[in-house]
Structure 1
């Protein structure tokens, strides 16, 4: 029996969430910290309100998570805004190192996929996933 597309998406989501949880546990990160560290370009400062949005949090909740990330040494206050009410943050050396560890673990996961599929199949899969993403997120 053919499985529905949405059933396959839910299976993939669960698998990805399990992998994300494993990475977070290894690095002792909360879900918001994980998203926050991945959301910041290592070479660029980012306004706190934008980081909160990228973490999927309200500005109020985001500020608490950002403060925790600062205390943990993942991010620091950074200049760059003319508006005194806007605080920018940037990754610290610890934050950049943690981001690299996350990317390495994600690359290891992707390499498992690449080993089992041909280059053409990977390209086709990517295009299909992009199309599904466009349909569901638009």
Structure 2
């Protein structure tokens, strides 16, 4: 395989993520980070979590997560409830509308990839990891902070979600 083929394969991955982001935004009216926030709440005990817990899961800064939560609250997909015993902290709770939305959204690329990676044997997984480590080193991007969640910024609403994450 020559270098151009490698670049094309990388571009296919990036383009697929971009297409997925645009499709989810257009068809469901939410961004990928918003879907991830709702999904986290769905998996949390009593369908609720603090903003800090959500922030750690999506690996975005506090102001970005605050914007995501504000937009989802306006759409009725989640609600803020005072935390019992500490009125300074609010629990973010998934609403039935948010749960219904999640039922309609197909599995995201990162979920599909995670399931498929889990099925690889350790030799294949190690080869893939070594190749990706080499690619990261070639691009000199080891210092870039990233989460295991694949997403891109695509429009004004998502820009509000991710502005401070892209520097």
Asked whether the two chains share a fold, i.e. TM above 0.5, the reply is yes
1:46 to 49, 54, 58: 49
TM-score norm. by structure 1 comes to 0.64
In structure 1, the partner of 2:73 is 70
Answer 1 or 2: higher relative contact order, Cα 8 Å, separation at least 6: 2
Match of 1:92 in 2: 95
Query: Number of paired residues?
Result: 126
Identify the residue that residue 36 of structure 1 maps to in structure 2.
37
Q: Which moved more, 1:33-42 or 1:90-99?
A: 33-42
> Post-superposition shift, 1:79?
5.5
- Structure 2: unaligned runs, 5 residues or longer: 137-145, 148-167
- Normalised by the length of structure 2, the TM-score is 0.55
Residue 132 of structure 1 corresponds to which residue in structure 2?
A: 129
How much does 1:38 deviate? 2.5
More helix by share: 1
The answer on whether the counterparts of 1:45 and 1:78 sit within 8 Å (CA) in structure 2 is no
Residues 45, 80 of structure 1: 8 Å contact kept: no
Match for residue 139 of structure 2? Answer: none
After superposition, the CA RMSD in angstroms is 3.9
Tell me the alpha carbon deviations over residues 88-120 of structure 1, each in whole angstroms, 9 at most, x when there is no partner.
111101100111112x3549x95xx9xxxxxxx
Aligned-partner SS, 1:29? coil
Structure 1 contact 23–105 (Cα < 8 Å) conserved: no
Moved over 4 A (4+): 133-138
